[in-house]
Amino acid sequence: MYKNRNVSDPSISSNDADDGSSQVLTPVVSPSDLASPLHQSTYVAHTYEKHRSNSSPVSSSLTLLFSNLRTNDGSNSEASSSQSGRSILKKLLYKNKSEEDLRSLSPPRSRTNSMGRRGSGSKSPIPFMNNTNGSIDSNDMELDPSIYASMGHHIKIPDVFIKDGLPLLKLSQKSKKRIMLKVDPTSFIFSWKSASSTSISASASNKFHKVVPNSIHTPKAKLHEFSLDNIKTIAYSKEATNYREELHISKEFESQWITIIYYNEAKKKLKTLHLIADTEHDLKRLVQAIKNLKVLRDHLAKELFIDAENINEDKIRSIMSLANHTEDTVDGNEKHHHVREFVSFSDILKYAKRLNINLSASYLKSIFNEVKNVSNSKDTVFEEGLNFNQFKLFISNLKKRNDIIEIWISICGDEQSKMSFEMFKNFMINIQKENLEIDQLQRIFKKFGNEKNDYWLPENFNSYLMSKYCQSLISIPNDINANNYFNHPLNEYFISSSHNTYLIGRQVGGESSVEGYIKALQRGCRCVEVDIWDGENDDSEPIVNHGRTFTVAISFTNVIKTLKKFAFVSSPYPLIISLEINCNANNQRKLGKILIDVLGDALVLHKLDDNAILPSPHQLKNKFLLKVKKTSPFNDLIPMDGSFMTASPSTASTTTTSFSEDNGVGGGNSGGFKMRRKKKGTKVIDDLSELGIYVQGLKFRNFSLPESKTFNHCFSLSEKSINSMLKDDTKKVAVDKHNRKYLMRIYPSGYRVSSSNFIPLKYWSNGAQMVATNWQTYDLGQQLNEAMFDGLQGTGYVLKPISLRKPLLKSMRESASKLKSTTYKFEITIISAHQLPKSKDDGAHAINPYITVDFYGATPFAESEDYKLATYKSSLILENGFNPIWNETFKGTITTESDLAFIKFTVNTVSGPYTEHDRGTPIGGLVFRLNYLKQGYRYLPIKDSFGEELVYSSLFVKINYCRIN
């Protein structure tokens, strides 16, 4: 949502002055905020300022001393700084020395909007040209202003966005460039190009200047585009501080800064736009334009779900065009209005495109022709299109939910029956398997009932199914005491963990950014990784990046500030910061001070009590824990029988055989090969090591050593090492036994240069608490990882099954895997889908969707590498992504270890011949842990390839399952 500072209304009125002196908006915006009901309220839009003339200078508050833009680029000489700044500014922004006036240039080519006219930005309609015979061509008629407005073409976007574009400064780690940002409100498209030529005019102030564009865009400049739906995150002003500081930009520009993260369809990856507006007022205009477009987009997406029976003529006119008009000048000043009061099929196609009604033109035409033949004696019949009542019937037929009617009949007996409270109660208990009190059920029934609240109609029933009162995931497992769920020691939980959190790309050559931390924390991650290295020189502060690779570094201070700011936004439970120390002793002292100064009292620096047991998540709410390598001496360790160790783990040695492949110590030659010793790592100073109060990182050597019995130690193992252990039955039992009492972290191999992920199931099934994945890659491994923690409101802590928590007797260890297995009997019905997105490969054509259902589970019976247990595939629906109906049921049984059964729904489409083995093109999907799913009829959200929810799309299913052992 958007929060307003010192004013009650966040919208900007038309009275706002051009000096930008009006209120500053304080943003709190995320993908979920963009879909918030607050954005679906009555649309209010205003014009923000007078039209900007093409030849008028653009008032700018960007400093002339461009070298001072970056806070660490100070200069000793003001004069030299000014000269250097002026030179750099000219080189970066004003390469073309042409002084050609804008008025002599042809206007840039406009995008054709959905109504077939150029988006000129003019408030008045384009002049209508009469035919020579004086007749009016309905296709040439302009829309009536009130109806044109109802279709969204009225949206009050300032002319500068539609004509030349809003001038902005775009910054990145590598460059700074002037761009012009444009908006097409008819298609919700944002586009920008590099500005080609500008000139600088001196201003009275030595700090500000005015920029006069000499041309809009370089003819050869590349056009960049993204849609409103592709925007994932917006942060501006104070909320974008971490992004601004990451680029070392002065706080002076805070009130003009905006960061937009969007999905680039061409490159199939997320892109980030860091922008500085010329004035605060320009920033407010840009933010408000995005907000208003989003409100309109949500409004249009939901209009077809209203009750067609309650539509009156005014409502129809608010939905789409029933009248177009043109104005002809007669006798100097008189004007005649030419109005058509029908909806042509061309109007239907344009509206369907705007609403993303993913249906073939032939199907829409069939409904159009069907209702066109329905009329009564009082209606005017138009040969060219539909009258009011016919269009009302068209909307009703288009949005008719036969799937809901079928369910309604199964509950109430027939379509005309009403649902009583008793029917609703039986439905909730017997079909939905909900465990609610009578008064709770009564409140729900009353909330969605009619005015008398004593019965439901089908639309009331569907409104309930689509609401938050019919969520698809449980909050706390039914067999667990909710009041005690977060009161167990940390070692008894699976903890949502990230590897190389700072990366937003590949491990080699990827980009490091605080964005990685922000997105992970917003999704509930509770263990993040910080790789710390020395800066460029001895005076520099430590930096964070993937060492010895081509990744860009970021400030350690900025990382810690980001963690403090976002740590507890999604979850109140402790955040573990895993420090990978690769810097010298001096920088280690610096980072220790930074941690203490920035995190303050929220950083755990002392044990909560004298108990030799880890505290619970509840005890550590809103606290930071550091995981750091233990190099300071142990106290009161008891020597083992048959071995000896010194007081310091960094010099400890033992004669006991090690299970680890990472040991770096060879046991002699074997088969002619000699073990290679690892290069000695950075020594962590004692002062920093002592900050690891409850998560002390130990290099694994043996499970039997005294250091392996300390209650607060944590072993970190690569997937290669743990995989080797799990192949040996003895070592596997040792891993299982260790993880019942102590912490273990598993991380991906360094050979995964593309930041791919392993399948985490087998590590969870052996009790590993922190199974770290590459969150920047939304592959199957990450999908399973997020599904594990999607329940429990995304708190990031999942209590392990009792089979992985209670101590095992020696007699039970060999049969441990059998004790952990669970068999489920399931029945899944794929009913329908709604407002599916179009495949990028299908262009303007309607998609041909089908659904695949895959089961995954950690089990010895799953021989496939990805632990797939079963796959089911629906039939194909041709040319219907708007409301395809399947009503297909899949039944079966699956067996899994430790209750780790997962189900993946994937929406696919094919453009060519459909075969039994064709996987098609995935356009969305979602993974759930099976025992997190609520039963009965549920609308499931659909995510895109980056794990972002497609807010207008859903899959409607019926779910039944039960344990049979």
Residues tagged active-site: 499, 546
Residue type, 559: V
HSE (CB half, 13 Å, CA atoms) of 599?
27
β-partners of residue 834 are 954
How buried is residue 765: exposed, middle or buried, by Cβ count under 10 Å (0-12/13-18/19+)? buried
Nearest 10 degrees: Cα torsion 138, 140, 142, 147: 40
Rounded Cα distance, 85 and 209, in Å: 12
Tell me how far the alpha carbon of residue 193 is from its chain's centroid.
26
| DSSP of 685-748 | PHHHHTT-SSEEEE----TTSGGGG-TTEEEEEEHHHHHHHHTSHHHHHHHHHHTTTSEEEEE-
Residue holding tokens 């995005």? 290
Instruction: Give residues with Cβ within 8 angstroms of 346, minimum separation 6.
Output: 139
Residue 193, both tokens: 């190009």
Q: What's the number of CA atoms in the CB half-sphere (13 Å) around residue 703?
A: 18
Round to whole Å and give the CA distance between 775 and 783. Answer: 9
Cα 278 to Cα 432: distance, rounded to the nearest angstrom: 55
Tokens of 944: 């895109």
Do the beta carbons of residue 818 and residue 837 sit within 8 Å? no
What are the structure tokens assigned to 363, written together? 């199907």
Q: Are 808 and 818 in contact (CB under 8 A)?
A: no
- At which residue do the structure tokens 């501006």 appear? 236
List the one residue out of 890, 885, 904 whose CA is nearest residue 943. Answer: 904
User: How far, in Å, CA of 961 to CA of 965, rounded?
Assistant: 13
Helix 345-354, helix 361-372: angle, nearest 10: 130
Query: 312 vs 316, 319, 391, 459, CA distance in Å?
Result: 6, 11, 11, 18
Give the whole-angstrom CA distance, residue 151 versus residue 143.
10
> Per the structure block, which two tokens stand in for 225?
């585009």
- Calpha distance 271→102 (Å, rounded): 32
Tokens of 230: 């592709």
What sign does the CA torsion over 742, 748, 750, 751 have?
positive
Tokens 């025992």 correspond to what residue?
A: 931
Instruction: Name, in order, each residue with C-beta under 8 angstroms of 121's C-beta and a sequence gap of 6 or more.
Output: 157, 159, 161, 162, 163
Question: What are the structure tokens assigned to 205, written together?
Answer: 């102030």
Sole residue written with tokens 């007996």: 413
**Of 755, 709, 942, nearest in space to 836 by CA:** 942
For residue 428, CA distances in Å to 417, 423, 464, 495, 934 come to: 18, 9, 11, 33, 12
Gyration radius from the chain CA atoms: 32
Read off the tokens for 822: 């669970």
> Half-sphere exposure (CA, 13 Å, Cβ side) for 716?
20
Query: How many angstroms separate the CA atoms of 311 and 536, rounded?
Result: 67
User: How crowded is residue 639: how many other Cβ atoms within 10 Å of its Cβ?
Assistant: 11
Residue 853, classified by CB atoms within 10 Å of its CB into exposed (0-12), middle (13-18) or buried (19+), is buried
